[in-house]
Amino acid sequence: MKIAVFPGDGIGPEVTHEAVRVLQALDLPGLTLFEGDVGGIAYRRHGHPLPPETLEMARAADAVLFGAVGDPSCDGLERHLRPEQAILGLRAELGLFANLRPATTFPGLEGMSALRPEIAAAIDLLIVRELNGDVYFGDKGTRTLDDGQRQGWDMMAYAEGEVRRIAHLAFRAAQGRKRRLVSVDKANVLETSQLWRDVVNELAPEYPGVTLEHMYVDNAAMQLVREPGRFDVIVTGNLFGDILSDQASMCVGSIGLLASASLGERETAFGTFGLYEPIHGSAPDIAGQGRANPMATILSAAMMLRHSFGREADAARIESAVARALADGVRGGDLGGEAGTAAIGDAVLERL
Ligand SMILES: NC(=O)C1=CN([C@@H]2O[C@H](COP(=O)(O)OP(=O)(O)OC[C@H]3O[C@@H](n4cnc5c(N)ncnc54)[C@H](O)[C@@H]3O)[C@@H](O)[C@H]2O)C=CC1
Ligand SMILES: CC(C)CC(=O)C(=O)O
Ligand SMILES: [Mg+2]
């Protein structure tokens, strides 16, 4: 079991450290961890946010545990050298087209939701976000118009094959859950979205047991806070999925709680190769203070054991330890409490 660990910037190393402690406590057979540089730290050490040796390390591993990248001091760099290119590059180079972002209420935490507790209590949804296309990967630039103004532009595009593979994955995910799929787009305005909707509709007859609904993204943002319990699986593009998942995190209680798995088609001896990371970023505002909540990263390690190593029992063990810590009142600053990063890690370890 070879795991490449890429801590990255800001709170990335702090939260990754706790997730590694949890993995090490599980007595996993043949567990080998190796660490690589990504993001701003990699730019400073190697002149590039995703150095070739880091990419090689990812390719040689069975799974990647990723912290976060992003450093305000790098925001003035040319775009291809910015820290964020590390995660975009890994997703593209490793063919990780499917980003699974589950959001489920934790018992006892309903009061921490930004929503009323009785509304938050019903949340149990999965956002399936396409991760290799959309405006994030289209051509982009800044040009000067005839009247002398600067204009920034980014191309949004989806090929039907890209939509088809993520839609199949989402239909199958819905089959294994409550069999309700909501496809989120902006087909009333965008051609990209109209194609998305057409392709999803073409596949629907292959999944007769799944109820398919289409929803415009503006309405979806509203429904997510009005009645999040109505959602089971949401499938959407890269940009909309990025935004809606941060929003879903506050419906549950904190961005420090939501994990993710990024999967492609590569199979290893143990399961599907994947990259696992919290949905949050490097949080420069709290970095270096030991205040970050590591639960999202710890829960991402659980997703790794499930999807990349077929170790459901170990995954469930971690998830239940996190849930029990929360039920026992262990709260980071993001949840109105006093527990620091290491104390939260300790609390999870004690309950494993
Ligand atoms: N996958 C990645 O590596 C991502 C990187 N980023 C990058 O991270 C940097 C900061 O971006 P922001 O927009 O501020 O988003 P962010 O997710 O880093 O932080 C947003 C807010 O949530 C808080 N927060 C985030 N994670 C937390 C945790 N585990 N515990 C407690 N509080 C937490 C932060 O303190 C901040 O107030 C940027 O450079 C951005 O590009 C952003 C999102 C994803
Ligand atoms: C930093 C971005 C590239 C991505 C992002 O915000 C995310 O994946 O959640
Ligand atoms: Mg994001």
State how far the alpha carbon of 227 is from the alpha carbons of 72, 104, 112, 179, 211, in Å: 36, 14, 16, 18, 18
CA 46 to ligand 3 centroid distance, Å? 25
One-letter amino acid at 342 equals A
One-letter amino acid at 8 equals G
Nearest bound ligand to the CA of residue 258: 1
- Cβ atoms < 10 Å from Cβ of 312: 12
- Please say if 158 is a catalytic residue: no
Burial environment of residue 352 by CB neighbours within 10 A (0 to 12, 13 to 18, 19 or more) = middle
Mutate to test the pocket of ligand 1, among 282, 300, 331 (most ligand atoms within 8 A of CB): 282
CA 331 to ligand 1 centroid distance, Å? 18
Residue 87: CB within 6 Å of ligand 1? yes
**Which is the catalytic residue, given 178, 216, 246, 346?**
246
Gap between the Cα atoms of 258 and 299, Å rounded: 8
CA 250 to ligand 1 centroid distance, Å? 13
**Whole-number pLDDT of residue 339:** 98
Who's near 248: CB < 8 A, 6+ residues apart? 101, 103, 123, 125, 127, 224, 228, 258
**Which is the catalytic residue, given 9, 37, 186, 334?**
186
Locate all alpha helices (DSSP H) within the chain, ordered by sequence: 12-24, 40-46, 52-60, 84-93, 117-120, 160-175, 191-203, 217-226, 238-252, 295-307, 312-327, 341-350
Taking residues 307-315, report their average pLDDT: 98
- CATH architecture of structural domain 110-253: 3-Layer(aba) Sandwich (3.40)
State how far the alpha carbon of 264 is from the alpha carbons of 88, 101, 127, 174, 274, in Å: 14, 15, 16, 18, 7
pLDDT in tens, 189-209: 999 999 999 999 999 999 999
- Domain 1-97+259-351 adopts which CATH fold? Isopropylmalate Dehydrogenase (3.40.718)
- Please say if 136 is a catalytic residue: yes
Task: Specify the DSSP class assigned to residue 277.
Answer: E
* CATH 3.40.718.10 domain range(s) in the chain: 1-97+259-351, 110-253
pLDDT in tens, 31-46: 999 999 999 999 999 9
Which residues, listed in sequence order, are joined to residue 213 by a DSSP beta bridge? 182
pLDDT in tens, 99-111: 999 999 999 999 9
Taking residues 204-229, report their average pLDDT: 98
- Are the CB atoms for 43 and 74 separated by under 8 Å? yes
Does ipTM surpass 0.85 in this model? Answer: yes
Residue 298: CB within 6 Å of ligand 1? no
- Are the CB atoms for 144 and 150 separated by under 8 Å? yes
Gap between the Cα atoms of 221 and 198, Å rounded: 22
Q: Whole-model pTM above 0.80?
A: yes
CA 278 to ligand 3 centroid distance, Å? 9
One-letter amino acid at 19 equals A
Residue 275: CB within 6 Å of ligand 2? no
- Please say if 232 is a catalytic residue: no
**Taking CA 310 as the corner, what is the angle to CA 304 and CA 314, rounded to the nearest 5 degrees?**
70
pLDDT in tens, 232-267: 999 999 999 999 999 999 999 999 999 999 999 999
- Please say if 218 is a catalytic residue: yes
> Which residue is closest in CA terms to ligand 1's atom 42?
281
| Nearest atom (ligand 2) to Cα of 279 | 9
pLDDT in tens, 265-294: 999 999 999 999 999 999 999 999 999 999
> Which of helix, strand or coil describes residue 32?
strand
Taking residues 79-91, report their average pLDDT: 98
Mode of pairing for the β-strands spanning 259-267 and 272-278: antiparallel
> pLDDT averaged over the chain?
98
**Per-residue H/E/C for 298-314:** HHHHHHHHHHCCCCHHH
**Whole-number pLDDT of residue 177:** 98
Which residues contribute to the annotated binding site for substrate? Answer: 91, 101, 129, 218
